[in-house]
Amino acid sequence: MTGLRAFTGALTFAVLAAATFPALAEGDPAQGETLFRPCRACHMIGDGAVHRVGPHLNGIVDRAIGASPGYQFSDALANAGAEGRVWTEGSLDRYMAGPSDYFPGTRMVFRGVRSEQDRQHLIAYMLAAGGRSEAGAELAEVAVAPEIAAILEISGDVPYGEYLSSECTACHRDSGGSDIPSIRGLAPSVFIAGMVAYRDGSREHQVMNTVARRLGDEELAALAAYFAVAH
């Protein structure tokens, strides 16, 4: 279980909660192409792709993180690559779910792709359009920060989580807004990483920092468990 969880929190959760979630389908590159449209504001992929605001994404799958030559990466990505970490399908999935939750300090300013299915489509498209990197054949596993792993170990009290969530619904609608996103259905690993970042201040937002500061680990586990299963 630990290996799976480390591989991708989102996937792990889908396995754990198989009873409540439909099984993942393989990504569809055609749908991924459409979903990739907002990424094109910053990234090129395919023949003749060069760096723009973001690095080109040819051969991204299996390439070392933050290592594409000629592009000035943030320390967050560059250090990860220097440690030998690689873009696996799992780590790409988590990065797209919440770039700065997964890599606090990344310069990719993008809220994230909420739907797991959409992320699978995107990965399929990047693989089809940009190919796989020959360099990094080995799939390095990405470790979850110990603080987050510890909260993931707590089995969340769903009724308590539901009660606590009533504070959140004053601002977070299921359908999401332009600046207050929906948080329903977030994978616990992504949810907890986000809340821990607000709680310790590494992600700054006056409202969310204040909300998170009074939530202990039990509360975060309860909320994560509730939001993951809430419809």
Partner 1 sequence: MTINRRAFLGTSVALTASLAAPMIARAQATPRVVVVGGGSGGATAARYIARDSAGAVDVTLIEPQRTYHTCYFGNLYLGGFFNYDDLGHGYGGLASNYGINVVHDWAVGVDRDAKTVALATGASVPYDKLVLSPGIDFVEGSVAGWSVSAQSRMPHAYKGGTQVELLRAQIAAMPQGGTFAMVAPPNPYRCPPGPYERISMVAHYLRENNPTAKILLVDPKETFSKQGLFEDGWNRHYAGMITRIGPDMGSAVVEVDPAAMTVTIDGVVEKVDVCNVIPGQRAGQIAFAAGITDGNWAPVSAYDMSSKVDPDITVLGDAAAQGAMPKSGFSANSQAKVAANAIVSALTGSRAFPARYSNTCWSLLDTDDGIKVGATYEASAEGIVAIDNFVSQIGEAADLRAATYRESLDWYAAITTDMFV
The residues that touch ligand HEC, with contacts defined as CB under 6 A, are 38-39, 41-43, 53-55, 57, 60, 65-66, 68, 73-74, 76-77, 92, 96, 98, 106-113, 122, 164, 167-168, 170-172, 179-181, 183, 191, 194-195, 203, 205, 207-208, 211, 223
Helices 217-229 and 188-200: crossing angle in degrees, nearest 10, is: 140
For the stretch 132-138, contacts whose Cβ atoms lie closer than 8 Å and that sit 24 or more positions apart, written own/partner, are 132/59, 132/61, 132/62, 133/59, 133/60, 133/61, 133/62, 133/63, 133/87, 134/59, 135/59, 135/62, 135/63, 135/64, 136/62, 136/63, 136/64, 136/86, 136/87, 137/62, 138/86
Distance of CA 1 to the CA centre of its chain: 19
Question: At its nearest, how many Å lie between ligand HEC and the CB of residue 12?
Answer: 18
191, interface contact from partner 1, ligand HEC, none, CB < 5-8 Å by kind: ligand HEC
- Partner whose binding site includes residue 160, from partner 1, ligand HEC, none (CB under 5 to 8 Å by kind): partner 1
96 binds, among partner 1, ligand HEC, none (CB under 5 to 8 A by kind): ligand HEC
57 binds, among partner 1, ligand HEC, none (CB under 5 to 8 A by kind): ligand HEC
177 in contact with partner 1 (CB under 8 A) = yes
CA angle at residue 14 from 174 to 229, to 5 degrees? 35
Closer to partner 1 by CB, 33 or 217: give it: 217
- Angle, helices 9-16/116-130, rounded to nearest 10 degrees: 130
Residue 201 as a binder of partner 1 (CB under 8 A): the answer is no
**Is 163 near partner 1 (CB under 8 A)?**
yes
| Candidates 20-28, 84-92, 192-200, 206-214; binding stretch for partner 1 (CB under 8 A) | 206-214
180 lies in the site for partner 1, by CB under 8 A: yes
